[in-house]
Chains A and B, each alone.
Chain A
């Protein structure tokens, strides 16, 4: 009640202030506040570019063949589709948070003062408020779920458990000044299903769980997280894996399958990208989640970068710094779209199914649909991609028309 009102008021104030600040920063503010591409990339294929000069000579090498690869290489150095996804989205006009001023905007005196006021408000007023809310939320979760755990298994327990969980997540959401707009709630994930969503931050869990109960999937942690995890499991079944168990794919799939097949259990929440992406694109969905069977309920989450950058850049910030950043942003504003449920079609393998779901989510959320693996954040790209290109080129040099 009161918390909701407080959230709304805050949002209105901030909207007014930041838009005022924006006018200072840029006269030409377009519809979307995000930066467009730097170069024009024409997606000309190898076949077209090099094939062009063949004429009637089938198969040959020419000294100019290096031009194609040079151009593509330089284009990717100036701007590539992948590395930009692992750092925060750039904004055209500044939103008064130092952290987003990456483009070296000229900062006038007036803006600086506004920014200073902003800092005082954010760190002095908002932060303590939010931290206490988060603390209340978490303790409530632990205490509440433990208490519910004493009740014998019955419908009352399930109902209370969901109540406790959702309440806690609502308090946590207030703790982040999160304003969430849910769309198409008729498609909300049902029991015995699998909810898949694009992943931007650990906060995604709070965002989704605000609207209903989910069974969480994840690794067992120590410390505070571990306490929370053990408490949650007392109230209703969640799926926590030991580190060693996670390496065994069959074990993981089987446990998930068992959970899904029990139609009384809450839908499980999975993020198939496997890592946090910056909310401008959806990267490769790992096929594991799509091999379990059952109905997939896709969900698209899109944060509004104007009020705060929700992306967790785990290379740059640890969890605590990240939460601090979150709690000193203006607000977290996001849209959640529930998409119609999908099931695997006849003759469709897990990878194709995964791609189909990914495209649906990307389209709804207005995100770029990429096939690149989110794991490229840390790992090197596989050699097979280079070998594919080499093979294609070799076919052209040899003049083999039967190339696939």
Chain B
């Protein structure tokens, strides 16, 4: 019975999915390809991806920030992400030029705006979603990226220095606006964009 349901999900609801998805990704062929990819990652064939499904990708498993990136797909407390959620997260990485084709003033800020790309990166640090990067949170991410190769003390002083340079309101944390200010000269659009070939 479950099998039949998932078959329906994939085959018959497909056009509806495409329609809703076209608000997130513009090109039909991109959506189809991403759907195909989603389906191939979905080993359980239940229309949703779990964290294990992502961890099966070797290149992601060896990425030092792999777990945090996977986390970005799962909303608070959820263990499964459906195709819509999958696309929404990936849409952050669409190039900014894509927006020229989709000028819809009522749509609100697009997912791939500079601001939202920065928010994606900010949330990699801000695990508890309190809109601040604390010293501990910063240390956690640092530790993930350097592994065992740097001592606690040295890492601590790197964290302290980073916070000191960014923190303007003296709360020893980095807020999102402070984060944006520090990175104002960085070419976020290029570094956080993926070019699709279709």
The chain A residues found within 8 Å of chain B, CB to CB, are: 36-40, 49, 53, 60-84, 87, 90, 102-104, 372, 376, 380-381, 385-387, 389-391, 393-395, 397-398
Instruction: Report whether over half of chain A's contact residues are helix, strand or loop; otherwise say mixed.
Output: helix
| Size of the chain B interface, CB-CB below 8 angstroms | 58
Map CB proximity to A onto B110-121 as digits: 1 under 8 Å, 0 otherwise.
000000000011
The chain B residues found within 8 Å of chain A, CB to CB, are: 11, 14, 30, 32-37, 39-41, 54-66, 69, 90, 93, 120-121, 124-125, 141-142, 145-150, 154, 158, 162, 166, 174, 179, 182-183, 186, 188, 191-198
Across the interface, name the chain B residue whose C-beta is closest to A315: B43
Contact present for B37 and A70 (CB under 8 Å): no
Contact present for B179 and A39 (CB under 8 Å): no
Across the interface, name the chain A residue whose C-beta is closest to B174: A63
Distance in Å: Cβ of B156 to nearest Cβ of chain A: 12
Residues in A neighbouring B188, C-beta threshold 8 A: 64, 67
Across the interface, name the chain A residue whose C-beta is closest to B59: A76
Distance in Å: Cβ of B66 to nearest Cβ of chain A: 6
The verdict on A73 contacting B65 (CB below 8 Å), with A80-B57, A83-B40 known, is yes
Across the interface, name the chain B residue whose C-beta is closest to A64: B186
What are 22 residue pairs bridging A and B, where the CB atoms are less than 8 Å apart in the complex?
A: A38-B30, A38-B196, A60-B158, A61-B158, A64-B183, A69-B65, A69-B145, A71-B193, A71-B194, A74-B69, A76-B60, A83-B41, A90-B36, A104-B32, A104-B35, A381-B62, A385-B58, A394-B146, A394-B147, A394-B149, A395-B149, A397-B145
Contact present for B191 and A82 (CB under 8 Å): no
Residue in B36, B41, B59, B197 whose CB lies within 8 Å of A72: B59
Contact present for B63 and A381 (CB under 8 Å): no
Give Cα A60–Cα B155 distance, bound, in whole angstroms: 11
Contact present for A386 and B61 (CB under 8 Å): yes
Instruction: Report whether over half of chain B's contact residues are helix, strand or loop; otherwise say mixed.
Output: helix
Residues in A neighbouring B182, C-beta threshold 8 A: 63
Residues in A neighbouring B62, C-beta threshold 8 A: 381, 385-386, 389
Residue in B39, B58, B154, B196 whose CB lies within 8 Å of A82: B58
Distance in Å: Cβ of A328 to nearest Cβ of chain B: 21
Distance in Å: Cβ of A52 to nearest Cβ of chain B: 10
Contact present for B59 and A104 (CB under 8 Å): no
Contact present for A73 and B66 (CB under 8 Å): yes
Residues in A neighbouring B39, C-beta threshold 8 A: 102
Residues in B neighbouring A64, C-beta threshold 8 A: 121, 183, 186, 188, 191
Across the interface, name the chain A residue whose C-beta is closest to B192: A67
Distance in Å: Cβ of B45 to nearest Cβ of chain A: 11
Give Cα A70–Cα B66 distance, bound, in whole angstroms: 8
Distance in Å: Cβ of A89 to nearest Cβ of chain B: 12
Contact present for A77 and B146 (CB under 8 Å): no
Contact present for A72 and B195 (CB under 8 Å): no
Residues in B neighbouring A67, C-beta threshold 8 A: 121, 186, 188, 191-192
Interface centre among B55, B90, B146, B186, by most chain A C-beta atoms within 10 angstroms, is B146
Distance in Å: Cβ of A273 to nearest Cβ of chain B: 15
